[in-house]
Chains A and B, each alone.
Chain A
Amino acid sequence: MKSLLTVTTVLLCMALPAKAETGAVADIPLSRQAEIRYLLKQDCGSCHGMQLTGGLGPALTAERLKPLPESLLTATILKGRAGTPMPPWETFLSEVEATWLAQQLRAGTALQEETP
């Protein structure tokens, strides 16, 4: 059951962005995806909580982020938010990677490990 879910997620993740204009999202290798997930958990987690349930920064759960446009989240990740502790991550994440991360966050699949 769990592996079926994972497979579906992988398929969905690969299928969805292919339709969007950021076609390259599907090209992020699994190893890099794992690195980004690790960054999310450990380094974003220091402000947003390791389970993304919130801390100094707001919760990054699908429930909270769904109503917000993907482009806003991608921009927030890349550029940060001036006047708040949210820092820009563009030195560490490309636009494609930030888009992928925003999609994962909105879908609630960002913390799932995917075995290649």
Chain B
Amino acid sequence: MNIRKLLLPLLLLLALPIHAEEACQPRGTGDLGIIIERETGSLQVVNTTQRKSLARLEGLGDLSHASAVFSRDARHAYIFGRDGGLTKVDVLCGKLVKRIMQGGNSIGGAISQDGSLIAVSNYEPGGVKIFSAEDLSLVADIPATPIAEGKNSKTVGLVDAPGQRFVFSLYDTGEIWLADLRQPDKPAIQKFTDIGVQPYDALITPDGRYYIAGLFGEDGLALLDLWHTDNKPQRILDHYGKGEEALPVYKMPHLEGWAVAGGRAFLPAVGHHEVLVADARDWQQQAKIKVHGQPVFVMARPDGRQLWVNFAFPDNDAIQVIDAETLQIIKTLKPGKGALHMEFTPRGEHVWVSVRDEDKVLVYDTETLEPLTELPVKKPSGIFFTSRAHQTGL
């Protein structure tokens, strides 16, 4: 036996596992997250303690408007792509686990209370599909109300709710559906009709009690009390734009990541340069805050002391920070053109901001309001940290 012939495979054997271990450390994932690179169909796995990128994954398809949820052990991310792709990523090891094409055109998803089911909301064909979180096999299909030959209403604002339920809204037919998946292959669906014109997105309060759908076709929102589902959804903040002319909307606002702080709820006004302030107990309007442009995301720092707001085209170069107590704007930041998304670290000392047109993510200190770190990221959009794993509705 030639010793050199033996040595090479031996060396290779030794080298391989060491390399694999490096990528997949025995560590927790609580300070990790992902950043979507919308144009290249890729994402970066990041560490929020070290403020650096750990890995880059490719081959995730069309990620414009992509969003993500996390498994309850915070190890896996499920990414919902615009092209109908559903991808399971191992955040700890920085690798793609499985990818399926589940529909033609999807808009977001949710993970069930017990972490066993993934729900995906689709524009085409309109409806919600339920998958096993384990292997992404199809568990149930819930087509939305038909609106034309072979066409169903688009579904939006899909969230999880306590009791192994999912809640979503039907854009074209103005409905809210509550799907109970305690028997996963036999969803029991309760439908609420006539909730308002063109619900475009929705949120659920962190306690999982109220589901609120924003309406595009009307000034107001529809609120469903999940503790009392015998009652019809109720209209709140009706006619908030009264007496003012609505501006054209160049980007639909998002209600996910909306804010409750100090007993008040803060929401983006559609077609107005305003953040709406409501009492979070009775949902009566308390005030409006004039801001730089049409708000897209209104997000509360985890301690509720500040609100961070970004804006629709053509004002998407700025971010405003609002004091949640005085309702005054503390500072207008100019991170750069295409400031699309923000994500706070779990306890809010930093916020990560994606700046699409400048191919970077900026990390701000939320006390000094100064940028601390800049990371190169190709056309970044959504930023999602694993702390979402334990929050209803995220």
Chain A residues with a Cβ under 8 A of chain B: 42-43, 45-47, 49-51, 53-56, 80, 83, 85, 87-88, 92
Contact = CB atoms under 8 A, between A and B. Distances in A.
A55 B200 contact: no
B385 interface: no
Nearest to A38: B357
Given A50-B62, A55-B107, A43 B171 contact: no
A53 B64 CA distance: 11
Contacts of B317: none
A12 B375 CA distance: 42
Contact of B249 (A54, A55, A83, A85): A85
Interface string B240-279: 0000000011111000000000000000000000000000
B123 A51 contact: no
A45 B210 CA distance: 31
A56 B105 contact: no
Given A50-B62, A56-B200, A85-B216, A80 B248 contact: yes
Contacts of B248: 80, 87-88
B313 interface: yes
Interface residues of B, number: 27
Interface of B: 38-39, 62, 64-65, 82-83, 105, 107, 123-124, 154, 171, 198, 200, 216-217, 248-252, 313-314, 338, 356-357
A100 B238 CA distance: 41
A55 B82 contact: yes
Contacts of A45: 64
Contacts of B314: 92
B64 A50 contact: yes
A46 B82 contact: no
Contacts of A92: 314
B273 to A, nearest CB: 15
A45 B357 CA distance: 14
A85 B200 contact: yes
B64 A49 contact: yes
Nearest to B105: A54
B64 A85 contact: no
A50 B38 contact: yes
A60 B240 CA distance: 33
A56 B357 CA distance: 23
